[in-house]
Structure 1
Amino acid sequence: MGIKDLLKIGNESDRVSALYDIFEEDTRLSTKATQVEFLTTIRQIEKYLKPGMKILDLGAGAGEYSIFLQNKDSM
């Protein structure tokens, strides 16, 4: 399935599910090269976080940033 096939899917939930089947977002940030993106993004997020703040949603991806920040707070 390609991008053109995704655009043909009318139901948004089905389209998002099909997209994740193609791109494997949960492993996208696992290489050394993409760790630069991850660490840069975390640094930018941390500039705006204050003690006691909660994150409702972040990035609408596989949760890599939210999970990292949650684990960091529990250390």
Structure 2
Amino acid sequence: MILSNLWHSDLEKSFYVSLAAWKKLEDLINVFEVFISQLHLYHNPYSLLNEEAAGVITQLYYSYSKSERQSSFSI
């Protein structure tokens, strides 16, 4: 049961999940325990199901990377 809305580049608004690497050897327990939690850790904005979320993730990543580069050069 989903308790709140998930906003992610690999999830459609209907909660369709992109699991391109999923094999029949994996059961639903693995899907919920491993793959769904991995969505929170490893975003893939280049395999889009939600373009808006992917755009925000990509923009935040580049902004963060730029600020990290600037702070590392100012030491």
| TM-score, normalized by the shorter chain, greater than 0.5 | no
| TM-score normalised according to structure 1 size | 0.30
| TM-score normalised according to structure 2 size | 0.30
* Structure in which a larger fraction of residues adopt helix: 1
Higher RCO, Cα 8 Å, sep 6+ = 2
